Structure 1
Amino acid sequence: MRQTKYIMSGGLAFSEEKDMEKLRRFSLKGWHVSDFKFMGYTLEKGEGSDYIYNVDYHSLKSDDEEEYFDLFSSSGWSHVSSEADIHLFRAHPGTKPIYTDRDTTVEKYENSRSSMKSMAIPFVLITVLVWFGAMISSGILKSLLIVVAAILSVIAIPTAWTVIAIYNNKWKVEGRKGLVMLVKIIPFILLLIAIIILFFVDGTGITVNILTAMMIGAVAFPTAIWVIMSLYHKVGGKRE
């Protein structure tokens, strides 16, 4: 009987290197990746082997797939699985890295950013418009728009954070320290503004109160997830 198990991902935009290191540790124990999805990896039990893992972000047409995967195979990287424009590869230690310099690493994040932006921008724009509509409307329409805006925000906010994280990764590689620092500061500025509006500004109305509460959650929740996943990686690393 085939043995499988599922492990969580820290989110490739947020902890790609940690994920790849974790997959290597599992392979040493005989647990190898067979598939991956948005929030985790499916592992299959086999013989222990030392594999290194890496991901590439590339939008492929069906006609280009064979040539694309053959290119990696000729360099020693075996294709494991793909999810949308994200492709997971593995190789033996000592294989030439997929990204060998700053320019190719920047290109990697450019590809990742392009695929995410096409999804993030429409969601964010629609969400903003619906929230604006909720603020200027009244009655049943207002209530309906608030519900729709809240649902859209559940998708738009994590997507926006992911795009920001990808930009942050790209700027780190490029050595743009000012922008990297700005990305770290912005969430806390937004959190402070939201708290001030929610608790100290009178007469803002239910729509603004809900929106500011969601802004607080949008900062607090990813921060909590980051803390939890950091602990998960540390504890998991010790157990493995």
Structure 2
Amino acid sequence: MKKKYRLNFGLAFFEKSTMQKFEKLATQGWLFKRFAFGGFLLEFEQGEQQTLSYSLGFQSEPDSDYFEIVRAAGWRHVTSHFNEFHVFSASPGTAPIYTNDEGEAEKYEELNSSFGKAALYTFLAILAVTALMMLSQIYFSLLYVPLQILQYSCVATFVFCLLPYCKYTYDRLKR
């Protein structure tokens, strides 16, 4: 089977447009299969042209009941990412997984909390590594470069956690 990859611009900011992209590609015979390369890429596999609706669910460590309820509503589980993001597909006209604002808000609440905690922990790691870098300049300069590399990776992680946290918080306050 042929495969095609597309860049994932971030479900926190582009959830609806990403689901619409999945739907458009399905009509061309490219069906979404999974998140690839740590979620930075979206993998599509060539198949039959289909008219599908896609929906995204957020549920940390879901049990079998979660998938059973969604399946009973007419949705098929496509894939999961980090066991928190779940992509479903269904025939057009199938009732949405989240049918009201409260359900939509619940969908993001736990995810927002996870990103907030991760942003806090990585910020604290940045502070700790910065302090170690300052000490290494005084006492042991050979550690400075490895600590600087660690600091850059902490900053990158912090940004990837902070931006979705800000987006979900903004959406929650906007309601």
Q: Distance in 1 between matches of 2:32 and 2:98?
A: 21
Q: Deviation per CA, 1:138-181: give whole Å up to 9, x if none.
A: 33178344443223212222222222122223333x1xxxxxxx
Identity across matched positions, percent: 29
Helix, strand or coil: the match of 1:50? coil
Q: Distance in 2 between matches of 1:122 and 1:30?
A: 42
* Residue aligning to 2:88: 89
Determine whether 1:168 maps to 2:170: yes
After TM superposition, list the pairs within 5 Å mapping 1:138-217 onto structure 2.
138-139=137-138, 140=141, 143-144=144-145, 145-172=147-174, 174=175
Q: Which runs of 5+ in 2 are unaligned?
A: none
Tell me if the contact between 2:54 and 2:87 (Cα under 8 Å) persists in the aligned partners.
yes
Q: Deviation per CA, 1:182-218: give whole Å up to 9, x if none.
A: xxxxxxxxxxxxxxxxxxxxxxxxxxxxxxxxxxxxx
Instruction: Write 1 or 2 for the structure with the bigger share of strand.
Output: 2
Instruction: Give the structure-2-normalised TM-score.
Output: 0.86
After TM superposition, list the pairs within 5 Å mapping 1:95-110 onto structure 2.
95-110=94-109
Letter in 2 for 1:14: F
Instruction: Write 1 or 2 for the structure with the bigger share of helix.
Output: 1
Determine whether 1:12 maps to 2:11: yes
Per the TM alignment, residue 92 of structure 1 is displaced from its structure 2 partner at its CA by 1.2
* Residue aligning to 2:73: 75
Q: Distance in 2 between matches of 1:147 and 1:41?
A: 28
Q: Distance in 2 between matches of 1:40 and 1:167?
A: 25
Letter in 2 for 1:73: R
Tell me if the contact between 2:78 and 2:88 (Cα under 8 Å) persists in the aligned partners.
yes
Per the TM alignment, residue 122 of structure 1 is displaced from its structure 2 partner at its CA by 1.5
Instruction: Give the structure-1-normalised TM-score.
Output: 0.64
How many residue pairs were aligned?
169
Q: Distance in 1 between matches of 2:111 and 2:144?
A: 37
Q: Distance in 1 between matches of 2:87 and 2:114?
A: 16
Helix, strand or coil: the match of 1:138? helix
Letter in 2 for 1:108: K
Determine whether 1:49 maps to 2:50: yes
Per the TM alignment, residue 132 of structure 1 is displaced from its structure 2 partner at its CA by 4.2
Letter in 2 for 1:127: I
Q: Which runs of 5+ in 1 are unaligned?
A: 175-240
